[in-house]
Structure 1
């Protein structure tokens, strides 16, 4: 059974169209969707082409490894996150991102989100298993590629406190 959830309206969008001047409004709207009852949140913004998580590589004996380029990109993103987080948050986290790409090359949003999730481990959150709400958008801005990231506390029936995470097999 299929039902339309939202009536189609011309020009309606979660994210306002426009340039960098609307990034704060985009972040506010994204946070309100991800974690409407959040008591705290952060907006992190940085310029440059959004990074994406590369496919794992397979070495001798079938062991997987990351490329040097993937590792360097995670470290760079980690430094961006360190600007906003003095220590990793514990408990449930909501994460939303708008990735403004400079071209129309095919890049999967889930791989860009995975890159952020992995880069934030031990910096913004203890472990990405704490992320209980996740939303990403890919947009085009040829002149100003950038990443707009929103991180909020998230109320969820799935408890991701340190005590609960310790019992989760990985």
Structure 2
């Protein structure tokens, strides 16, 4: 195994307020899927939701909390405005989560929330997402999520991915 030292360069995401969201999205899309010819920029207003740990009931069966189900449904409704039908094939997903406070959160749990909420709405199944980027930022005035979804070329072809059994389809 080899390692390489990386030096700090210019930021992928420019500092500033909401007026720079389009530029952030453009840069994010070009970094995730430079060859993409189709993509969407979606703003999700409000405090970014995070995926909660599963709960376990009798017999050890896992289930989602009511709060998690409601948050996923709310995000799903917002995603329905952007997608007429679920996209198929490989996808790249980039998200900038602007939180209103400095509470400790995991970017991967916020991405998982978006991935699960988009199943059957923006994409057939979140296994189609073959490139991911997430970053957490602070904006006490206007919390939001800036989401970019693009077609993505990968050697792992997800064109014929069937819907998951038991899922929202």
Query: Which of 37, 40, 43 is the aligned partner of 2:41?
Result: 43
Residues 91-140 of structure 1, C-alpha deviation per residue, up to 9 Å, x if partnerless? Answer: 00000000000000001000000000000000000000000000000000
Q: Does residue 1:81 correspond to 2:79, yes or no?
A: yes
CA positional deviation for 1:4:
1.8
What is the match of residue 88 of structure 2? 90
Residues 66-112 of structure 1, C-alpha deviation per residue, up to 9 Å, x if partnerless? Answer: 01100000000001111110000000000000000000000100000
CA positional deviation for 1:36:
0.2
Matches within 5 A, 1:1-170: 1-5=2-6, 7-9=7-9, 12-162=10-160, 165-166=161-162
Q: How far apart in 2 are the matches of 1:94 and 1:118? A: 15
Question: Please, what TM-score do these two structures have when normalized by structure 2?
Answer: 0.93
Question: Please, what TM-score do these two structures have when normalized by structure 1?
Answer: 0.93
CA positional deviation for 1:47:
1.4
SS of the aligned residue for 2:122 comes to coil
Q: Which runs of 4+ in 1 moved over 2 A?
A: none
SS of the aligned residue for 1:86 comes to coil
Residues 132-154 of structure 1, C-alpha deviation per residue, up to 9 Å, x if partnerless? Answer: 00000000001110000000000
Q: How far apart in 1 are the matches of 2:140 and 2:84? A: 33
Q: How far apart in 2 are the matches of 1:8 and 1:80? A: 36
Q: How far apart in 2 are the matches of 1:105 and 1:134? A: 23
The CA RMSD over aligned residues, in Å, is 1.6
Mark the runs of 5 or more structure 2 residues left unpaired by the alignment: none
